[in-house]
Each structure stands twice: as structure tokens, then as C-alpha cells.
A and B are shown apart, each in its own frame.
Chain A
């Protein structure tokens, strides 16, 4: 019976191995759960990429007067209450324009233009208004003292000042009384890997297709291809601020 001990050993080993695996599983499983819980947020991201320049292409020929899908989506995404008073914050709005000489009308969504040479960044005394590496112009509310000089400097009336104490902010969009704010190109979505801003997503989902978002620096991106094909202009291009938002049809 010389095989028996080996077989018995093999069996015992197998049993021990299985038991050890089982115990290890029981012991480690909570640990796996531990890692899962303690790092509820996804793994650390790399940060803004300087090779990227985020931008929007807005086709106003596809913008219906009175349609506010993009504005509503923006405000819902960022936790803004529906604005009614002149003191309420608006991160984007629809402007109805009519050319004085010809009478031609258009409906234009206007938000922070994310200029390459932002006047708001130049004038901010503390450096709270800044341009991120990927071209998004933001307000660092930790540094904003609420002087509103950037609001004086912006040619597009892009920014709002928070006139009252706020509550119930979205977890990913902190905002509060006494600071200035504006369109962030949904930076919290971009940093988490989502492909579109809320306004672009809402417009596409509704079937209008007026707002295209993407990386202007990537020649293969859809927005870069479209701006090569389609005539587009920047608002107040004479100021040479080089906004990242381009408009077709005005």
C-alpha cells in the first residue's frame, strides 16, 4: 500500500489546498470589499491634458427660437435653480438676434466662450479665474474673493455672481455665495471620462444636433473635421481673444 499514503497525501493536499483557498477567500473577501468601500471614487485621474483643447461648434441654423433644451440641461446638470430674477445665476442662455439691415434672425446659445486669451483671467487680482491646461476657463472658488472684476471684463456676459447663500449643491459642482461662476464645459463630466457636455448631450438626444463638443486640437475628432468643412465664426472675433466656441450661421 505504498500508493495509498501518496494518494492520501495527494488527497489531503488537495483538501488542504481547497481549505486554504476557502479560508483565504473568506479572509480576503472583506479586504477586497474594504478596498472597494474606502476608495468609492474611481482611481486617481491624470489631470488636464495640455495637448487637448476642448471646444464647441454651434450650428445656429439648427437652433429653434424658443428652444431651451441646452440651457435646461446645463442648469439641471450643474444644480442651478431655474433663473427668474436678474440676480439669479445663468451659465448659458439663448439670445435671439436680428440683423438690423437685412432682418435675418437667428437663435444663439451663449455661454463662456473659453477664450485662449481670456480677459477675465488677466484681470482677476487673486488668479482665481484661470485657464486650465486643456483650455477650459474656470473659477477657483477657493481663491475667488467676489470682486466681480472678471464680470466687468468679460465681453460675453458669461459669468454670474452668486447673490445669496446656497444649499443642496450637486456633489460634483460646488458653488456658493459670494463667488463668481460660469460655464465649466462640464469639467466634472470630462474628468470622469464622459464624452459630452450636458448641453451637447441634451441637444443631440433631442435630435436637433446643433451643439457639437470635442477636442479642437485632435484633427481626427468630429469637431475638428466639421470646422474644416463648415464656415464658422467666433463671437467678437475682432477682439482677438480666440474663443473655443465657434458658431455657424451668424
Chain B
């Protein structure tokens, strides 16, 4: 009976995973379609570095900005948004193709930045 139970448990754990992978292969979750940032510009660091380090960079910078009053520094969120805002939406978080949302939705990493911060570039209504 125990063996049967163990088998059932194993199946319960493995089958959904297989199902998800199958769906993946069928393209159920689209790869991120990131709108490129403005032409002839370069990010503050190479893409591989940014991909790994941007949470730490933003987390560090926000303390400098909020508590220290430092504005316009290298890793300022406003700076990121101004460059990476999509051409159509002028935002990094308004549509599924926008910069931040697209990758985060694919990676299934929920961010709460845009509950408070608007993703829209400055100067746009």
C-alpha cells in the first residue's frame, strides 16, 4: 500500500511539471518581446550585467535617492524609464510588450514597483 501511495505522490508531483513543459514547448508562454530602448544609446552597464544586477542597483539607488536626496544618479529609476519607455505607450509597464513587464511576466517575478511609481516617461500626459 505504501508503495502505491509513493507512486501516486510521485505522479502527482511529476505530471503537472511535464504538462507545464509541454505547454511551454507549444509556445503557451511567449518569450519576452522587449521594445528596444532609444536608438544610439547605451545602457549604464552591459546587458548581462544589468540582467543580473539591476535589482541590487535599483535597491541601493532608491535609498540614496529617498533618504539622501540624491537625484539623477547613474542607476536612477527615472533614468531607466526615460530610456526604456516604449515608443507607443511611453511607459515601461503599460502594455505586455513594454520593457519591464515583458521580461518580468515571462520570468514570473512579480514586482510591485509600479504600484507606486508610474512607468510613464516624464513630460508625457
State if A and B touch, Cβ cutoff 8 Å. yes
Tell me the nearest residue of chain A to B125, going by C-beta.
Answer: A168
Indicate whether A43 sits within 8 Å of B67 (C-beta atoms), given known contacts A30-B40, A171-B118, A171-B120: no
Q: Which chain A residues lie closer than 8 Å to B121 at the CB level? A: 171
Report yes or no: B118 in contact with A168, Cβ–Cβ below 8 A: yes
Report yes or no: A44 in contact with B117, Cβ–Cβ below 8 A: no
Indicate whether A47 sits within 8 Å of B70 (C-beta atoms), given known contacts A33-B40, A41-B76: yes
Is B27 close to A, CB under 8 A? Answer: no
Q: Which chain A residues lie closer than 8 Å to B115 at the CB level? A: 165-166, 176-177
Q: Which residues of B30-81 have CB atoms within 8 Å of chain A's CB atoms?
A: 38, 40-42, 62-64, 66-74, 76, 78-79, 81
Q: Which chain B residues lie closer than 8 Å to A44 at the CB level? A: 70-74
Is B116 close to A, CB under 8 A? Answer: yes
Report yes or no: A174 in contact with B118, Cβ–Cβ below 8 A: yes
Is A179 close to B, CB under 8 A? Answer: yes
Is A48 close to B, CB under 8 A? Answer: yes
Report yes or no: A47 in contact with B68, Cβ–Cβ below 8 A: yes
Interface of A is mostly: loop
Q: Which residues of A26-53 have CB atoms within 8 Å of chain B's CB atoms?
A: 30, 33-34, 37-48
Indicate whether A34 sits within 8 Å of B42 (C-beta atoms), given known contacts A41-B76, A176-B116: yes
Report yes or no: A140 in contact with B71, Cβ–Cβ below 8 A: no
Is A12 close to B, CB under 8 A? Answer: no
How many angstroms from the CA of A191 to the CA of B64 in the assembled complex?
Answer: 13
Q: Which listed residue, A33, A174, A187, touches B116 by the CB 8 Å rule?
A: A174
Q: Which chain B residues lie closer than 8 Å to A37 at the CB level? A: 38, 40-41, 83
Report yes or no: A48 in contact with B71, Cβ–Cβ below 8 A: no
Report yes or no: A42 in contact with B72, Cβ–Cβ below 8 A: yes
Report yes or no: A34 in contact with B41, Cβ–Cβ below 8 A: yes
Indicate whether A47 sits within 8 Å of B64 (C-beta atoms), given known contacts A41-B82, A165-B115, A176-B116: yes
How many angstroms from the CA of A103 to the CA of B112 in the assembled complex?
Answer: 51
Q: Which chain A residues lie closer than 8 Å to B64 at the CB level? A: 47
Is A108 close to B, CB under 8 A? Answer: no
Mark the stretch among A117-125, A128-136, A197-205 that contacts chain B.
A128-136
Q: Which chain B residues lie closer than 8 Å to A170 at the CB level? A: 118
Q: Which chain B residues lie closer than 8 Å to A168 at the CB level? A: 118
Report yes or no: A46 in contact with B79, Cβ–Cβ below 8 A: no
Q: Which chain B residues lie closer than 8 Å to A133 at the CB level? A: 68-69
CB proximity of B84 to chain A, nearest CB, Å:
11
How many angstroms from the CA of A48 to the CA of B67 in the assembled complex?
Answer: 8
Q: Which listed residue, A42, A45, A166, A175, touches B69 by the CB 8 Å rule?
A: A45
Is A85 close to B, CB under 8 A? Answer: no
Report yes or no: B42 in contact with A38, Cβ–Cβ below 8 A: yes
Q: List 19 A-B contacts (CB under 8 A).
A: A33-B40, A34-B41, A37-B41, A39-B72, A41-B79, A41-B82, A44-B73, A44-B74, A45-B70, A48-B68, A130-B67, A132-B69, A138-B66, A140-B63, A166-B116, A174-B117, A175-B116, A191-B69, A191-B71
Supplied contacts A33-B40, A166-B116, 12 more A-B pairs, CB within 8 Å: A37-B38, A38-B83, A40-B79, A45-B71, A45-B72, A47-B69, A130-B67, A170-B118, A176-B112, A176-B115, A176-B116, A191-B69
Q: Please list the residues of chain A having a beta carbon within 8 angstroms of any beta carbon in chain B.
A: 30, 33-34, 37-48, 130, 132-134, 138, 140-142, 165-166, 168-172, 174-177, 179, 187, 191-192
Q: Please list the residues of chain B having a beta carbon within 8 angstroms of any beta carbon in chain A.
A: 38, 40-42, 62-64, 66-74, 76, 78-79, 81-83, 112, 115-118, 120-122
